[in-house]
Structure 1
Amino acid sequence: MKFITQNKDVAKLFLPRNKDCHKGTFGTLAIVGGCEKYAGAPFLATLGASALRVGTGIIKIAVPRFLVSALQHRVTECTIFPLDDKDGYICLNVKQFEQLAQKTTAIICGMGIGNTEQTQKTVRFLIDNANCPLLLDADALNAISKDVNILNNHKQQIIITPHIGEMARLTGLDVQYIKQNKEMVATQFAQKHNLVVHLKDSNSITTDGQNVAINQSGTPAMAKGGSGDLLAGIIGGLLARGISPFDATFAGAYIAGKAAEKAVEKSNEYSLLPSDTANEVACVVSEIIKNG
């Protein structure tokens, strides 16, 4: 099946809630990221808020221990989970990650985590041991590009969200070739590694190897650092609710694009911030429900 994502495709994910529910009903998302070079504490908080705005019940932001104090002044809706660190980067402590995974229904990893040997160990551990859907973005993708075969060991469903350059590193293919053959490259990679690929571009491609969704929402104003991280947070929020990886991914892309379109109406294509987009997510979800 191949389609261009429309409002009706996303609205089915936002049905009326049962009155007999609680925060645990809607899942728990763990966000693993941050390092000394890319601290971004305020933006990690924004990611968590965006996930809450698409319906997740609980958010855990897992960061190097040295970042905890900075986050405590920014985070009001999410819990903070400190991780061991070394030289400003997350250092894999298996017991900590096992504790983080308890009652977690989705994990996103890679935003500002840094491209180090410890990152590679952390990403490999999550691929091999995660007990819930796992989304890999940014430096998590750089980590697996050194040995993409580690993707073949996953026990749970995986989503990767590369831009064209990251896809080139993952596949060894030329950037221009990928840009001219986005659907084919993404589909073949998804089939080979049994996962969902969201290939980011002006018209993004989401595929699980069988189905293809084309996203046409968005604006050139999104060509700015942090937009992809925000997308990961939205997709992760939907994943944590128990929505299938393919549906969560194409819906997340649509919501992020529509939120940016709405935000740029109040600003311009040069000045838009990813946090401006995040602030419009709730309004976009309301419109999706209303027009579903």
Structure 2
Amino acid sequence: MAPIVAGKMSNQQPRLQTLAQLIPPLTFDMHKGDCGRIAALGGCDEYTGAPYFVASTALRLGADLAYIICEKEAGHVIKTYSPDLIVNPYLRSSSTDKLEGSITPEEKIGPLLGKLHAVSVGSGLGNDPALHKTARWTIVAARERGLPLVLDADSLAILGKSPEIIHGYRNAVVTPNAPEFNRLCQALQLDTSGMTTERAAQMLAEKLGGVTVVRKGKADVITNGDRVFVCEESGGLRRCGGQGDILSGAIVTFLAWGERYKSGAWKHANEIKHEDVPMLAAFAACMLTRHASFLAYDDCGRSTQSSNVLEQVDMAFDNKFDQLLQAVKPSKSSSSSLV
């Protein structure tokens, strides 16, 4: 694994020691929210599992609070999945485009954005024009607030139509799979024929003005147009739906931690440049998601579902980072004083 000099990233892979700096150490001095507050915007009446996977991955990695912003009917379903998620059924489809009275979804979402450290948009969003309109508004509003963004799944169609909403915003990560990547390049009139996957992804990142692109595939290619990381961590052989949502949840969590890192919320070596956080967050998330997939497939084989991958997220995290983290280990006397 290529070494990283302080403040400079390799074009191969970052060191685990560098990635670990983004992970908040757990201490008794922390408060609820210090380890990250994230939101997943998505979830229509047809796709309720996708935002659940995003938000649940964040909690399993150690984010403190995970909100889901979804369509009203989807909210009733998602609330039955887990009591740990904060479900906000603020989205409205074309047939019910307003909340009770004259309140709009945007008026409900705006105040919530002020509480967050990072936002994922698109998982399970569907194709309804009203849902896309609110998602587009949220992307613009999050950017105006300087919030890190993950754009995946159905939000990539919005990006294809309106690339200006994140063009030049280097605190954003887009995560297309192979078909989505091709459609996005076509929408942006970017000809990548004959290019390697690495070069094509780099061209897309350049076209978007330095946005970090995660081109998912046999190996995940991560690039901001300047540098390229390739994550070849072994994964499982199953390609069941939902694994991309788990990846989005991991990326949005590391981005949220990156915001806390920038603010000096905990002591660290200060070796990471702030502009490098999206690339490092994306690589760490790809590595963990692929390893969780490997563990799930090793356990379940052909019957592997994304719920099995989700169950392995914490084990994947421990396997990669447990020995590197310098978390405070409270004594029994200090812990017994907490009621």
TM-score of the superposed pair, with normalisation by structure 1: 0.88
Contact kept, 8 Å, 1:50 with 1:278, in 2: the verdict is: yes
2:248 pairs with 1:248: no
- Work out which of the residue numbers 277, 297, 306 in structure 2 matches 1:274: 306
**Aligned ranges for residues 1-292 of structure 1 at < 5 Å?**
1-4=10-13, 7-14=16-23, 16-40=25-49, 43-87=50-94, 93-130=105-142, 131=145, 132-152=147-167, 154=169, 157-172=171-186, 177=193, 180-193=195-208, 194-242=210-258, 244-268=277-301, 270-292=302-324
* Structure 1 ranges of 4+ moved more than 6 A: 88-92, 173-176
Residues 200-247 of structure 1: per-residue CA shift (max 9 Å, x gap)? 010110112222211112435342211111110111122122352211
Contact kept, 8 Å, 2:168 with 2:211, in 1: the verdict is: no
The count of residues paired between Structure 1 and Structure 2 equals 287
Higher Rg of the two aligned structures? 2
Residues 133-177 of structure 1: per-residue CA shift (max 9 Å, x gap)? 1110000002221233333275x7211000111111111179993
Deviates more, 1:160-169 or 1:238-247: 238-247
Contact kept, 8 Å, 2:35 with 2:257, in 1: the verdict is: yes
Instruction: Quote how far apart the aligned CAs of 1:199 are.
Output: 0.4
In the superposition, relative to structure 1, how do residues 27 and 71 fare at CA in structure 2: closer, same or farther (>3 Å)? same
Where structure 1 has 5 or more consecutive residues not aligned to the other structure, the ranges are none
Contact kept, 8 Å, 1:168 with 1:174, in 2: the verdict is: no
Q: Percent identity?
A: 26
SS state at 1:197 partner: strand
SS state at 1:266 partner: helix
SS state at 1:198 partner: strand
Residues 55-75 of structure 1: per-residue CA shift (max 9 Å, x gap)? 211111111112222222212
SS state at 2:12 partner: strand
Deviates more, 1:90-99 or 1:258-267: 90-99
Where structure 2 has 5 or more consecutive residues not aligned to the other structure, the ranges are 1-9, 99-103, 260-276, 325-339
In the superposition, relative to structure 1, how do residues 205 and 277 fare at CA in structure 2: closer, same or farther (>3 Å)? same
Residues in 2 aligned to 1:116 and 1:122: alpha-carbon distance in whole angstroms:
10
Higher helix share: 1
Contact kept, 8 Å, 2:94 with 2:128, in 1: the verdict is: no
Q: Which amino acid aligns with 1:120?
A: H
SS state at 1:21 partner: coil
Q: Which amino acid aligns with 2:134?
A: T
Residues in 1 aligned to 2:47 and 2:191: alpha-carbon distance in whole angstroms:
26
Contact kept, 8 Å, 2:47 with 2:125, in 1: the verdict is: yes
SS state at 2:284 partner: helix
In the superposition, relative to structure 1, how do residues 158 and 169 fare at CA in structure 2: closer, same or farther (>3 Å)? same
Instruction: Quote how far apart the aligned CAs of 1:8 are.
Output: 4.3
TM-score of the superposed pair, with normalisation by structure 2: 0.77
Residues in 1 aligned to 2:79 and 2:226: alpha-carbon distance in whole angstroms:
43
* RMSD of equivalent CA atoms: 2.5
Residues in 1 aligned to 2:90 and 2:107: alpha-carbon distance in whole angstroms:
10
Contact kept, 8 Å, 1:5 with 1:215, in 2: the verdict is: no
Residues 239-277 of structure 1: per-residue CA shift (max 9 Å, x gap)? 122352211111000000011111111111x22111111
